[in-house]
Amino acid sequence: MLYTQKALDHYYNPRNVGEIESADASAQEGEPGCGDTIRVWIRVREERLEQVTFKAFGCPAVIACCSMMTEMATGLTLNEARSLNDDMVVLALDGLPEEKLHCSVFAASVLHAAIDNYEKSKSPAVQEYEI
């Protein structure tokens, strides 16, 4: 199984690792079958991702994908970040071994979940009234 130089760099030197204190939102996803778990934190300013960080328990592909995703997402508007997908992350890493492509599916989806959680937290609560 051969990883690209860029994927190995993001695995051995992951970027943006750790929790954001007072994050605006976070999300966690995982695959119980293979044991991969990812948590992402975001800080939003003026509808842009000012900071994106992660912690991951998983194989080199999971860690590399999360690291690359944080670099790609930081600075994007929320709408631009929603268009970020797994194929874009893998392409930015110059590819992954075929048998590890399934590991890439969490990086973008957990980012999207964090954005969803942020937007839910900003929505006014729906109130029910008795008629």
Record: fold of 5-121:
Sufe protein. Chain: A (3.90.1010)
The per-residue DSSP string of 50-94 comes to: EEEEEEEES-HHHHHHHHHHHHHHTT-BHHHHHT--HHHHHHHTT
Q: What distance in Å separates the CA atoms of residue 125 and residue 3, rounded to the nearest whole number? A: 46
Catalytic residue among 34, 59, 65, 66: 34
- What's the pTM value of the predicted model, to 2 decimals? 0.89
Note the pLDDT of residue 119.
96
Is 59 designated active site?
Answer: no
Residue 128 or residue 15, greater confidence: 15
Q: Is 34 one of the catalytic residues?
A: yes
pLDDT in tens, 35-70: 789 999 999 999 999 999 999 998 899 999 999 999
Q: Hey, where are the domains in the chain?
A: 5-121
Measured CA to CA, the distance from residue 131 to residue 128 in angstroms comes to 10
Mean pLDDT of 8-31: 96
**Given the residues 59, 65, 66, 103, the one annotated as active site:** 103
pLDDT band at 88, cuts 50/70/90? very high
User: In this model, does residue 100 exceed pLDDT 90?
Assistant: no
91 phi-psi bin (left φ>0, alpha ψ -120 to 50, beta other): alpha
Q: What is the mean pLDDT of the chain?
A: 91
Give the C-alpha separation, 56 to 39, whole Å: 6
